[in-house]
Amino acid sequence: MTNQRKWLVLGGLLLAWGMVSIFQMWDSAPTDSLPSSATSGAPLPPIKDLKLDPAFSNPRQTAKFSLPRNIFAPLDMSQVAQQKKIDKVPTSRPAKTAPSPAPPQPPPPGPSMADLAGQRAREQLNQFRFLGYLTKGGESQAFLTNGQAIYIVKQGEMLEGRVQVNRIEPETIVLSTQVLETGSHVQATIPLTPDTSG
């Protein structure tokens, strides 16, 4: 575009802008206001003076409640609830004394604290992933990961101050730790993590 053409375009745009501005100012001139025939409405009576239709019933006063139901129960549970309701209705028959049921059996004992501590230690050992191994200078080194941490360890080394590497094999690694509550050792064999790169 030449310089002369640029000036012509700029002048045309300024002229168009000026015409639009003048048209808006001329169009927005105040017009004569016409008298309005609208009047203000009549004031409403206060709410306390309103008379309600007596046929209208308050839904809060006529609400009927049903028996609560267990939303987690199987579908046929409602029939059992209806049967209990029928059973509660007094009858004119003489009451019979039913033999009292035997007291419920106590729940079986859960795992001991030592078992729980051993299970927790095994779960901590199973958090490790065996990525691979390397034989360097006649010694095997294993590549392990636990979350974001990556470890390169030899047989007999300690990890995180509590986990010992017992044995490194091509397909598995054996880790052990001491259970603090009982003093016993727990071992876990971690398999080689398969290559998921494709």
pLDDT tens-place string over residues 42-93 = 777 777 777 777 777 666 666 666 777 777 776 665 566 666 666 665 555 5
Tell whether 181 is covered by a domain: yes
| Number of domains observed in the structure of the chain | 1
Q: Look at residue 59 and tell me if it is in a domain.
A: no
CATH code at position 147:
2.30.30.830
Is residue 18 pLDDT above 80, yes or no? yes
Angle at 142 between CA 139 and CA 146, to 5 degrees: 155
DSSP state of 49: G
Taking the whole predicted model, whether its pTM rises above 0.85 is answered as no
Alpha helices in the chain (DSSP H): 3-27, 77-88, 113-125
Q: What is the pLDDT of residue 44?
A: 75
What integer is the mean pLDDT of 146-158?
90
CA–CA separation, 192 vs 172, rounded Å?
6
Task: State the average pLDDT over residues 108-130.
Answer: 85
Give the structural domain span for 138: 114-191
Q: Which two tokens stand for residue 38?
A: 């609208």
Measured distance CA(168)–CA(130) in Å, rounded: 10
What pLDDT was estimated at residue 59? 60
In a domain? residue 165 = yes
User: Is the pLDDT reported for residue 23 higher than 70?
Assistant: yes
